Structure 1
Amino acid sequence: MSTGGLLGWLVLAALVPGAAHLRAGWRKTGLVLVSCYAALLLAALGVWLATDLGSLAGSLVDNSAMTAIIAGTAVLAVAWFALIVHSFVVLRPGRLPQGGQILAGTTAGLLAVLVVVPFGVLGNLAWTSQETLNEIFPEAPAEPAGPGSPAVARPVPEDPWAGRERVNILLLGGDADGHRPGVRTDSMNLASVDVRTGNTVLFSLPRNLEDVRFRPGTPMAQRFPDGFRLPPDPGGGRSDLLNSVWEYADAHPELFGGRQHQGPKVLMDTIGYTLGVKVDWYALVNMWGFARLVDAIGGITLTVEKDVVFGKYNEGLVKAGTRKLKGADAMWYARSRTNSDDYTRMRRQRCVLGALLTQADPATVLTRFNKIALATKELIKTDIPRSLLSDLVPLALKVKNAKVSSVQFVPPLISTGYPDWDKIRGITAKAIRDSTDPRPAVAATSSAGPAAEAGAAVTASPTPRKTPKKKATAAENDPVKGLTEGCGGAL
């Protein structure tokens, strides 16, 4: 056998285990290797064809599945390395001329190392994913087993969507830093997802919503029966707006029998009561770490309609135009209130979310996976149970290809100083119905009570202060918009 022939069979053996053994006369060994390899490929193909892509992706994020992948890739890497070495031996390179032996031996060594690389990459992806997910997502919450008994893990049902039409996740942007205590949630969006179709409505609530009402019977409602109202701050600002609910609850554990860190739970319940829905989980994004995530995916391309100024002395500038923004510019485009109001900023935040949703494609995620994982660990805090990810991942894939619309509760639709709570709930209920119903939506809003609109028993809040009636605007007649509508051509 020539040097070229031996190398050719060696490469073929790397692709089809057993090929070199058959060529060398090791028929039984060769047939066993080829048969096992063919069976493995057929089994993988069968699983691929018989399993929904979303379900497959969901099963792969399960903790036990990731552990199996890590162990499996290690075993296969060693096996394939040994296969190349043994294939080289059975082809008897000693019969080649000295120059051919050196070339064949060097090539075989490089090939043996090369075949390990894909398994190493896959194993590293699985390990990094497992570490990241285990760090971000908590275990299933514990609940007491009885007086004097230790807490036990609350079981997650096999099908958490059984009997449910939607999942509601509160997406928050917080700005906690070293300059002040607590967390102010300056970005608050509730994603209501249809579990069957993935159709999603994103409800955006303004940070400066006043006189926030709390669910009757709760400690916050007992403390503020007429709405969230505190004396003005020494500097004239207010600490009783919607974005201060988390911080206030965390700072006053005495309202909750001494229990600490009640901010997330109180804010979830408050926003759920405001919209007339049940909030299932929350995810808090540290806005100061947001730039790292954008940089991790290589930036986002969107259209900046006009120059956005930022910084303590207005020294920063995100120039107008359509281009790829780095993390810092994307963050300030979403956050800056200089020369603009909160409602303009809410629209820009929605545009950034839309850009992330459309541009973080699988290829980008895979090629930049380690950077994204590192940025995500530093960015997100959530109460979504780790064991629920195998069901949430398929749902997220549905959302990626489904209809995503948005409702922003900003003037003139809603007065932030004199909120009409029943109107907010009516608009929420109608947007959810239109998202669920496959028929085209009719552009109209409802002012029915929360129980009638949301199909849930919600205690009516105190009557809002009256404001003069005025002619409905286009925004009030059709408050539901596409996620990137009005984003100036965001890509």
Structure 2
Amino acid sequence: MGHRTRPAGSRAVLGWTLLSAIAPGAAHLRAGWRRTGFALLGCYAALLLGALWLWLSADGDLVGKLTNDAVMTTATIALAVLGLAWFALVLHSYLILSPGKLPQAGQIVTGSVAGLLAVAVMLPFGLATQYVWISQETINSVFKEPTEPQAARHRPEDPWAGRTRVNILLLGGDADDNRIGVRTDSMNMASIDVKTGNTVLLSLPRNLEDVRFPPDSPMARRFPQGFRLPTDPAGGRSDLLNSVWEYADAHPEIFGGKKGQGAKALMDAIGWTLGLKIDWYALVNMWGFARLIDAIGGVTITVERDVVFGKYNEGLVKAGTRKLKGADAMWYARSRTYSDDFTRMRRQRCVLGALLTQADPATVLTRFNKIALATRELVQTDIPRTMLEHLVPLALKVQNARVTSVQFVPPLINTGYPDWGKIRAVTLKALKDSVAPRPAASATPLEKPSDTTSQKPKPSDLAAPKGITDGCSGL
């Protein structure tokens, strides 16, 4: 410590204390604590330079590493410690300015302001600590630790195990407290090129009939000619593509008594249909999705015409452009009244596109707790927790890459009599076009199905991929 200067007045005490809150060490220099002051300023400068370097050099890989469980735990502790240290620093900066030599009124005013300032500088650190902790809890509740075989499959030097594409099945289910089982009414397979992030979204209709399974699978042994059941007593069908998960879960005897095989059976069916190997799935509860939309304050959508819903057609989403709450957005996306499955598939893409474009960072930060809570109730997935740090940078690539979509709906595909060869040919062409001039071999196709008799489709039969929000007014 150096030579102490004369005591400061009330204004000077407050000014130097305030300056120390944004430039640690300033009050110490004023009070004559030169070594301490320069040391604090040096540490602060190093901290700022480090933060600037991270900001300028930050990329997807860094963001991915921030989702690592150990890194998040360390960050939570570090932020909490830093907040307490800044709180103590402001108070110490105030005390070394000799406020006890001020008149009583000056001591009361400066002490109160210094206390409030110390609390104020700690609040951002407390908020950041809370965000990191809630994020970690949310991630750990959604993504589970992998089994040992999965862990061995992915090595740090090549998390994709030599693959050029990652295929993730995105499902929308209708599970609710008042119904048994899960029907997957929305089924989209996202095929992502790991280098470019270019993505093809392949949408399959819920009412696809006679779906096949890989020949060596339990479901194929049970349904060698395709998934076909007797009609329901009321004449309805329970053997469409959207019923595979529910049926497999309800019949564990097909899998040797093993329960909970719905996800695996559906992944097998869709992967075999498209000719792709599906890596993981993510099931979104549609009503949990509504809560997520409410958490961000709703989504603005242009409703082209009135959408009627409800058992007795008592509900109505009116035509026009406006912000929809979660329930209305979900009914807009899900209703088939006076409509069909294929129109509904388009509306679902519009809601998804609106959510992706309107969930800006400011909204996410201000509604973070609600969004995190809604997310825990929203997603079920088999994506390993350890893969998240690799998938996050890939997702960031997708944001700036080309995203196209193909819908396997009439007239492209007859859902009652699907042309399996054509579906595979359309899939391979879409993947090839998304990364042209890359060869289509990057699609990791499975062997040609033995049950198809279709001829190779003509180029004119292959639908051109579309943007995810194509056909959505206002997006």
Q: Give the TM-score range, shorter chain.
A: over 0.9
**Does the 8 A contact of 1:302 with 1:322 survive in 2?**
yes
Q: CA deviation at 1:214?
A: 0.8
**Corresponding letter in the other structure for 2:133:** W
> Where does residue 484 of structure 1 map in the other structure?
469
**Does the 8 A contact of 1:140 with 1:156 survive in 2?**
no
> Mind listing any 5+ residue stretches in structure 2 that lack a counterpart?
1-7
> Where does residue 462 of structure 1 map in the other structure?
451
**Corresponding letter in the other structure for 2:463:** D
> Where does residue 2 of structure 1 map in the other structure?
9
Secondary structure of 1:338's counterpart equals: coil
Q: CA deviation at 1:194?
A: 1.4
> Where does residue 446 of structure 1 map in the other structure?
none
> Where does residue 20 of structure 1 map in the other structure?
27
**Corresponding letter in the other structure for 2:244:** V
> Where does residue 253 of structure 1 map in the other structure?
252
**Corresponding letter in the other structure for 1:97:** P
**Does the 8 A contact of 2:165 with 2:442 survive in 1?**
no
Q: CA deviation at 1:106?
A: 0.7
**Corresponding letter in the other structure for 2:49:** L
Pick the aligned partner of 1:79 from 82, 85, 88.
85
Q: Does 1:41 align with 2:48?
A: yes
> Where does residue 426 of structure 2 map in the other structure?
427
Q: CA deviation at 1:354?
A: 0.9
**Does the 8 A contact of 1:213 with 1:461 survive in 2?**
no
For residues 265-344 of structure 1, the aligned pairs below 5 Å read: 265-344=264-343
Write the deviation string for residues 377-416 of structure 1: whole angstroms up to 9, x where unpaired: 0111000111111111111111122211110000000000
Q: CA deviation at 1:478?
A: 3.4
RMSD: 2.1
> Where does residue 225 of structure 1 map in the other structure?
224
Q: Does 1:169 align with 2:154?
A: no
Q: CA deviation at 1:134?
A: 0.5
> Where does residue 4 of structure 2 map in the other structure?
none
> Where does residue 264 of structure 1 map in the other structure?
263
**Corresponding letter in the other structure for 1:211:** D
Secondary structure of 2:284's counterpart equals: strand
Q: CA deviation at 1:97?
A: 2.4
Pick the aligned partner of 1:32 from 39, 43, 58.
39
**Corresponding letter in the other structure for 2:92:** H
Write the deviation string for residues 88-108 of structure 1: whole angstroms up to 9, x where unpaired: 111111222222221111100
> Where does residue 395 of structure 2 map in the other structure?
396
For residues 36-435 of structure 1, the aligned pairs below 5 Å read: 36-52=43-59, 54-143=60-149, 154=152, 156-158=154-156, 159-435=158-434
Secondary structure of 2:140's counterpart equals: helix
Question: Aligned partners of 2:301, 2:176: CA distance in 1, in Å?
Answer: 28
> Mind listing any 5+ residue stretches in structure 1 that lack a counterpart?
144-151, 442-450
Question: Aligned partners of 1:82, 1:453: CA distance in 2, in Å?
Answer: 57
Question: Aligned partners of 2:290, 2:447: CA distance in 1, in Å?
Answer: 39
Would you say how many aligned residue pairs link Structure 1 and Structure 2?
Answer: 466
**Does the 8 A contact of 2:191 with 2:199 survive in 1?**
yes
**Corresponding letter in the other structure for 1:161:** W
> Where does residue 444 of structure 1 map in the other structure?
none
Task: Give the share of equivalent positions with the same residue, in percent.
Answer: 68
Secondary structure of 1:301's counterpart equals: strand
Question: Aligned partners of 1:284, 1:482: CA distance in 2, in Å?
Answer: 22
Secondary structure of 1:190's counterpart equals: strand
**Corresponding letter in the other structure for 2:137:** E
Secondary structure of 2:126's counterpart equals: helix
Question: Aligned partners of 2:441, 2:90: CA distance in 1, in Å?
Answer: 70
**Does the 8 A contact of 1:418 with 1:465 survive in 2?**
no
Question: Aligned partners of 2:420, 2:83: CA distance in 1, in Å?
Answer: 61
Question: Aligned partners of 1:276, 1:289: CA distance in 2, in Å?
Answer: 31
**Corresponding letter in the other structure for 2:24:** P
Question: Aligned partners of 2:153, 2:118: CA distance in 1, in Å?
Answer: 46
**Corresponding letter in the other structure for 1:125:** Y
**Does the 8 A contact of 1:21 with 1:30 survive in 2?**
yes
**Does the 8 A contact of 1:426 with 1:453 survive in 2?**
no
Write the deviation string for residues 187-232 of structure 1: whole angstroms up to 9, x where unpaired: 1000111111211111100000001011111111111111111110
**Corresponding letter in the other structure for 2:447:** V
Question: Aligned partners of 1:465, 1:194: CA distance in 2, in Å?
Answer: 29
Q: Which deviates the most, 88-97 or 102-111?
A: 88-97
**Does the 8 A contact of 1:418 with 1:464 survive in 2?**
no
TM-score (norm 1): 0.91
